[in-house]
Amino acid sequence: MRLGPATEEHAVDARSVSAKPRHLAAVSSVLAAMVLVVLNTAMANMALPTIAQSLQVTPALSIWIITANQAALLMALLPCAALGESLGYRRVFRWGVALFMFATLMCALAPTLSWLIAARLLQGLGGAAVMALAIALLRQVVPSQKLGAAIGWNALAVALSSAAGPAMGAAILSVADWPWLFAVLLPFGLWVMLAARALPAVDGTARKADLLSIALNAGTFASLVIAAGVITEYPALAVALLSISAIQLTQLVKRERQKEAPLIPLDLLRSNSFRISVTASVLCFAGQTAGLVALPFYLHHSLGHEVLMIGLYMIPWPLTVALIAPLAGRLSNRWSTAWFCSVGGICLSTGLTGAALLPLQENLMMLVPLTMLCGLGFGLFNVANNRNMFLSAPISRSGTAGGMQGTARLLGQTAGAVIMTLLFNLFPVDSAPQLALGAGALLNLFAALISTLQSRETYS
């Protein structure tokens, strides 16, 4: 039976008492889809040198394998969220998984770099539907008082797949060629498609898509990502692209301002709590990315360690996130999310500060508790902040809230990567990583301070 929009607000409680096997299949399909997208990204990032060598392209050109995917994600997150609200979350989610799997097959068959870049672009479009609608679908399946726990499960799945991705990629490359990095995901994706049939089939609002707004949105983020990628080599081009991005964003905001459900969620951003959560998320992910990118360079260039040791010292960070996320999810249902976000941001800031300032060359084992502190802080912050963001939006706008949450994350990650790139161009390679760690610490301190302003306005 399909549920109409009028009954949507009551759907959560009704489904929470549905048959347990179907309930578990619905939740597992969403989490498995997130694992699929994150694993794909982690393995592709790790295998970039191998792919570049196999396709006989320069490292600079191979970066577009990553850039194309990231640009597509940013371009499509908000449109996929809007389509989910219009056509139904389950339908768009399954379309996204199907497109992602088709693109994954094309990646596995890619004979040239241009083919692979095009396939990665399609992967990003499909992955955007998964990332934008995952929490919205969980919100339909679990009761509102357990949303924090559901977000904790999602964070656990992402953290574990992020940690396992490089190791899985290395294991596959030790026995097979790089196309198998994509081919091994196909059976997993087929299972996700079948399990997703257990998701609730809730009708959408049937709002028509505004193609011009979607084009302006895509142009805004495509220009932004490309500008970030060329800012060091072609600064004049980057400035021009940033100007084009700003012009398109201005036109998009003007076009969407009077709409009841705008593509850019201006209606949700009027909420102080939602706006603060989005701002804090951008700052936190920018700081975290700067730290995660800087640490391997610091360990290699400043401390002289090889790749294997660097990988081992990086593991405690994602593993601690995986351990703390479910607990943070349960506790955030009971305690203030503003408090959790502030404590998490301070812990992450403290860990990055310690990594930047302490004499690790004398005792590298000090890095282990510091990276664990970073993981603890990020786990606390991310789960609580996401819960606050979603509960600051009505259920009918869960898709758009998910799109905005994913957009904030990717904007922060892009900003963190740009900060790292600029520091490498402005300072010697021996000092730039420590400066990036300090910048990451400062950004997370700002995220913690801003989070103290969160209100208690929620929608159940």
Query: Does residue 395 surpass a pLDDT of 80?
Result: no
Does 252 score more than 50 pLDDT? yes
Residue 277 tokens, joined = 């959560």
| pLDDT > 70 in the chain, percent | 91
Residue 175 gets which letter from DSSP?
T
What proportion of the chain, given as a percentage, has pLDDT over 90? 26
Q: How many other C-beta atoms can be found within 10 angstroms of the C-beta atom of residue 259?
A: 14
The pTM assigned to this predicted structure is 0.77
Lookup: tokens for 460: 């159940």
Q: What band does 22 get if pLDDT is binned at 50, 70 and 90? A: low
In this structure, is the dihedral angle defined by the CA atoms of residues 459, 79, 153 and 4, taken in order, positive or negative? positive
pLDDT of residue 307: 63
Q: pLDDT-based confidence at 48, cuts 50/70/90? A: confident
User: Among 204, 203, 199, which residue's Cα sits nearest to residue 18?
Assistant: 199
What tokens appear for 262 in the block?
């705008």
pLDDT score of 206: 64
> How far, in whole angstroms, is CA 333 from its chain's centroid?
22
Distance between CA atoms of residues 259 and 86, nearest Å: 14
What average pLDDT does the chain have? Answer: 82
**What pLDDT score was predicted for residue 455?**
57
Q: What is the pLDDT of residues 415-438, one digit of tens each?
A: 887 888 788 778 887 788 889 899
pLDDT of 380 over the 60 cut: yes
The per-residue DSSP string of 381-438 comes to: HHHHHHHHHHHTS-GGGHHHHHHHHHHHHHHHHHHHHHHHHHHHHHS-TTTHHHHHHH
List, in sequence order, every residue forming a beta bridge with 317; answer none if it has no partner: none
Q: Minimum mean pLDDT among 250-259, 267-276, 423-432, 449-458: which range?
A: 449-458
Q: Which segment of 13-17, 127-131, 340-344 scores lowest on mean pLDDT?
A: 13-17
Average pLDDT over residues 368-392: 88
Query: What's the pLDDT band for 14 if we cut at 50, 70, 90?
Result: very low
Give the single-character DSSP code of 298: I
195-216 pLDDT tens trace: 888 888 777 666 777 788 889 9
Q: What is the pLDDT of residue 127?
A: 92
Give 327-346 pLDDT, tens digit per residue: 877 777 677 778 888 999 99
DSSP 8-state class, residue 348: H
180 or 2: which leads in pLDDT: 180
